[in-house]
Structures are given as C-alpha cells and as structure tokens.
Amino acid sequence: MSEYSGNEAVIMKNVCKDFKVLNRHEGLKGSIKDLFSRDYKTVSAVRDVTLTVNRGEIIGYLGPNGAGKSTTIKMMTGVLEPTSGELLVNGKVPYKNRTENCENIGVVFGQRSQLWWSLPLIESFKLLRDLYMVPEKDYEGMIELYRSLVDIEPILHKPVREMSLGQRTLSDILAAFLHNPAIVFLDEPTIGLDVSMKAKIRELILGLNKEKNTTVILTTHDMGDVDALCRRIVIIDKGTKIYDNDIEHLKNYFGSYRTLKLKRSDDTWEEYLIDEKTTDVMDVIMEKQKSMKIKDVKIDEISTEEVIKKIYEGSAK
C-alpha cells in the first residue's frame, strides 16, 4: 500500500485502465459481419501512470484528445475502476467508497451542466447544501465568499436554462466548490467562453484555491488557463505520462527556442519558432527580408502553447 501522509490529495501508483472493444470492419459487408463477430481487442486508455498531487496545488493535466485524461479523472472520481494499480483520493480508494469520495470532491465536466436545468441557481444551491449536508453557517460563509469574488447577484435567481454559456460555467464552478471539497476537478472550464469571461473564471478559481486551499486538477486545451492557474503540469499522451514538472522547468527545457514575429506590410504578424542552438535569429530575418517587406520585428520567449505542441509532436514520433 502507498504511504498516505495526509498531505496528498491524490496518489496514483502504476495505474492502468483497459477497455475491451469490438474490432469493427469497414463497409456494409463489414457491418453485417460484425453482427456475429466475437473479435474483441483491448485498448489501454491509461498505462502505468504514477502521480502524486499535494493539497492546495493547482495542476494542469494536459494531453491531446484521446490521451486518457478523462479516463483518469473518471477513475479519480470513483466512476471507473482501475484495471490495475493503486489509486487513493483523500487517502481512500474512490471506486470502493464512491459516495464518501463524492463528499470530498467537486466536478465540473465540460459544458455539461450538473445543475437542475429549470431551477434558479439559488434553489440548486440549497438542494446541494442538503445533498452534501453542509452546515448552515458554512453555507452562508461560502455564499459570502462568492459575493466577494464575483458578482453573483445577476445569476442567483435565474434558471440555469436561461443562462448564457459563461454564466452557466460560472454557476457550475460555484456549485462544485459549494460544499468546500478537498479536490475540485475542472474539465475544460473555459471552453467556448469569451476573453473577459475566461479571465473572470480564472480569477475565481485562483481566489477559491487561495481562500480554501482547495486542490484543483484542471484539464484543458487552453494554454491561457494553464499560464494563469497552474504552476505544475502533467502531460499524458496515449495513456502514458510523458511530463510532470513545473511550467518554468518546461520552458527551460526548451530554453534555446525563440518565437520570432515579423510584421508584414499589411500589419499582420508571421511567427517562426527557432532553436538558437542550431539557427541564428538574424540569419532568418535576413533571409525573410529578401522575399518580404518587414515593418517590425519581435523576439519572444517560447510560449507555453508552443512548448506543449513541441512535446505532443515529440511523443508522436
């Protein structure tokens, strides 16, 4: 058994998750053949992942589509059982103690609202308070905290079905924190939102993390979220963990890379990623100048977005 010292929110040790799927054949003939086929194959969604998340951390759990992120989250929330390995959330095996585990976690899953569709938000809050048996004093305190962090008045008495996407996401996040869980899982919380709403939601998550020392596990494709919220990131690809460290470290890793931005005559920017170890920036500018008129030049450090892209590409090889 893994050592649980009380300070770890999540402990994963060699966790694997396999699914059995039918080998499908192509075409109409294939479809008819599949009707009677017993040709199953095993697909490993998560392979041998070892990971420890400490209390109060905000980690970015990243990976390309189909990398195994949601499967991991589903295991941590107790919905799926790992095929092998050890998994402890708040010191307990989530799948065996689903109800108990749920008391200590909050989940926001993409654009799927978990609130009662036709109820005003405040009524949903009250029902959640009862479901989680939150003491009245703590509940009031939480609502007060919400008031201090965001302007909740306009949405409090609005049914969820009538809300805009941004308001709905905001409501879902507030609902996920309402019972003051030890861990909150956020899956793509800012997807489809406009810039100001994104900023608002990031601020809210940071604020709640600071006030309540809540552990936040964030999966996203938006590197803006990662930059704003996470100090540590974990990258998973094809079910295998390929990176687990600070963002800073990651950037150092690609420290010799620069983003060269050239402004064309029509005021649009062109970007090039350059490895200074192999190529000289000035050479590139000179080369480009032969074919186009350059109005302005900018050299930036590599952005997180590009680092992640590099890593995905690297692991794909």
Partner 1 sequence: MNPKRLLAITRAGIMESLHFRLGIFVTLFANLIYLVLVYYLWKAIYDSSGTAVVNGMTFTDTMIYLILATALFNFLEMFVVWDMSRSIQSGKIVLDLLKPMRFRKYTFWSYTGNHIVQFVLTFIPTFVVVMIVTKGAIPVGLNLVWFLIATVLALMINYNLEMIVSPICFYTESTWGINIVKETIVLLLSGATIPLAFFPEKARMVVQYLPFRAVYDIPLSILLEKNGSDTWQGLVSLFALQLAWLAVLTLAGNLFWNCAVKKVTVNGG
Partner 2 sequence: MHKRGLAFYARIYRKILIQDLKSKMSYRADFIISTFGMIMTNLSGFITFMILFHNFPTINGWDYYHMLFLYGFSLVALTPVQCFFDNNWNLRFMVQSGDFIKYCFRPVNVFFYFISEVFDVKGLGQLAFGIGTIVYAWIKIGIPVTVIIIAKLLVFLLTASLFMIALMNFAAATCFWIKGSGYVMVIMFRFKDFAKYPSSIFEGIFKIIFTFIIPIAFIAYYPSLVILEPSNVPLLSWISPLYGILFVYLSYRFWMLGVRKYDFTGS
Nearest CB to partner 2, comparing residues 111 and 259: 111
Closest to 260 (Cα-Cα) out of 227, 306, 299: 299
Alpha-carbon distances, residue 90 vs 59, 77, 102, 211, 302 (angstroms):
16, 11, 11, 19, 36
CB of 35 to partner 1, least distance (A): 5
Name the segment binding partner 2 (CB under 8 A); options: 27-35, 69-77, 244-252, 290-298: 69-77
Nearest CB to partner 2, comparing residues 208 and 250: 208
Pairing mode, if any, of strands 257-263 and 269-275? antiparallel
The whole-angstrom distance between residue 302's C-alpha and the CA centroid of its chain comes to 21
**Interface residue with partner 1, options 1, 3, 5, 28 (CB under 8 A):** 28
Name the segment binding partner 1 (CB under 8 A); options: 30-38, 64-72, 212-220, 250-258: 30-38
Query: What stretch of H or E contains 237?
Result: strand 232-237
At 156, the amino acid letter reads L
List, in order, residues 6 or more apart from 132 with CB less than 8 Å away: 103, 178, 179
Nearest CB to partner 2, comparing residues 105 and 234: 105
Per DSSP, helices labelled H in 150-219 are 153-156, 165-177, 195-212
Nearest CB to partner 2, comparing residues 73 and 250: 73
**317 vs 315: CA distance, rounded Å:** 5
Alpha-carbon distances, residue 265 vs 108, 185, 231, 293, 300 (angstroms):
45, 46, 38, 6, 20
Any contact of residue 243 with partner 2 (CB under 8 A)?
Answer: no
Binding-site string for partner 2 from residue 103 to residue 142, where x marks contact by CB under 8 A and - marks none: x-x-x-xx-x-x-x-xx---x--xx--xxxx---------
**4 vs 6: CA distance, rounded Å:** 6
CB 2 within 8 A of CB 88: yes
**Interface residue with partner 1, options 4, 21, 32, 246 (CB under 8 A):** 32
260 binds, among partner 1, partner 2, none (CB under 5 to 8 A by kind): none
Nearest CB to partner 1, comparing residues 31 and 84: 31
Phi first, then psi: what are they for 313, rounded to 5°? -65, -40
Binding-site string for partner 2 from residue 144 to residue 183, where x marks contact by CB under 8 A and - marks none: ---------------x------------------------
**Interface residue with partner 2, options 80, 217, 234, 235 (CB under 8 A):** 80
**116 vs 119: CA distance, rounded Å:** 6
CB of 113 to partner 1, least distance (A): 12
Any contact of residue 34 with partner 1 (CB under 8 A)?
Answer: yes
Q: Which residues bind partner 2 (CB under 8 A)?
A: 19, 70, 74, 77-81, 98-100, 102-103, 105, 107, 109-110, 112, 114, 116, 118-119, 123, 126-127, 130-133, 159
Q: Which residues bind partner 1 (CB under 8 A)?
A: 28, 31-32, 34-36
